[in-house]
Amino acid sequence: MLEIRKSEHRGNANHGWLQSKHTFSFGSYHDPEHVGFGPLLVINEDRVAAGQGFGTHGHRDMEIISYVLDGALEHKDSMGTGSVLHYGDVQRMSAGSGVRHSEFNGSTSAQVHFLQIWIQPNVTGIAPSYEEKRFAPEDKQGKLRVVASNDGRDGSVLIHQDAAIYATILNGADNVTHAMAPGRLGYVHVIRGRVTVNGQALGGGDALKLRGETAITLNGAEAAEVLVFDLPA
């Protein structure tokens, strides 16, 4: 089963300082047809104005991954962690038994553009934790680079769920395939550019749900950056 989720059909939130596109139901946007896919609950594409951001707020029992696309994302939390993330940086915060944090645009002159991803964990009440890793563009060029996994393999950030996130940058003749084990769900989110996934043409902001597929194949790309999710049903 292949199901396309077009970019223009995502939820839209414009708060002035924040412009956000919601792939799944989030906040005031609710679509009963799109309330998550397996444990993948949120993909928000956020653009935050210079000097603005999300004030201190709380989370619990959620794996929160930030994938920075442009600009500077400043993070502070109740664990004492503080950092500024840029393109290529991937941040993972396991909210566990409870954590408070803030996210701000670290620039006074340019917006920050990033994806915020929420994955429901397979354990609850654990101690909150934080991790960040950098993945250079050349590490993703023409190949699938695991950036988040349940065992931290190959230098990926560790998430508390039987899931993995791969990032890739593709162009021209690039062709990559990810094998899917029986019973697994696949989800592809196109960050930018154009790419064909299992024969389906997708553009920036588009996504593809996959059920019952033995593999995910990406080709025919034009300056594409893509995330591929391997998820439990």
Q: Cβ–Cβ contacts within 10 Å for residue 217, how many?
A: 14
Type of residue numbered 144:
L
**Band of residue 104 on the pLDDT scale cut at 50, 70, 90:** confident
Distance CA 171, CA 222 (A): 5
Confidence band, pLDDT 50/70/90 cuts, at residue 129: very high
Q: Please state which CATH number belongs to domain 10-134.
A: 2.60.120.10
Condensed to tens digits (0 to 9), the pLDDT of residues 193-231 reads: 999 999 999 999 999 999 999 999 999 999 999 999 999
**Which CA distances in Å does 112 have to 27, 49, 62, 105, 147?**
21, 7, 23, 6, 20
Give the pair of three-digit tokens for residue 230: 């391997």
pLDDT digits over 12-33, tens only?
999 999 999 999 999 999 999 9
Query: Tokens standing for 11?
Result: 């939820």
Eight-state DSSP code of residue 29:
B
Cβ 221 vs Cβ 195: under 8 Å: yes
Indicate the domain borders of the chain.
10-134, 137-231
CATH for 137-231 is 2.60.120.10
**What's the rounded Cα separation, in Å, for the pair 126 and 131?**
15
CB 180 within 8 A of CB 216: yes
pLDDT at 90 over 90: yes
Its sign, for the CA torsion 72, 73, 76, 82, is negative
Alpha helical stretches, state H, 26-185: 137-140
- Range 35-57 average pLDDT: 95
According to DSSP, residue 128 is labeled: P
* Over residues 141-151, mean pLDDT: 98
Task: Give me the percent of the chain exceeding a pLDDT of 90.
Answer: 95
Note whether 10-134 and 137-231 share their fold. yes
pLDDT score of 13: 94
* pTM of structure: 0.96
What's the mean pLDDT when you consider all of the chain? 97
Residue identified by tokens 């034009």 is: 222
Closest by CA to 26, choosing from 39, 7, 13, is 13
Q: Closest Cα to residue 95, out of 63, 47, 49?
A: 63
8: DSSP letter: G
Q: What is the pLDDT of residue 144?
A: 98
pLDDT digits (tens, 9 = 90+) for 63-76: 999 999 999 999 99
Give φ, ψ of 137 to 5 degrees.
-55, -40
Q: Supply the pLDDT for residue 87.
A: 97
Please state the rounded mean pLDDT for residues 170-187.
98
pLDDT of 121 higher than 90: yes
133-140: average pLDDT: 98
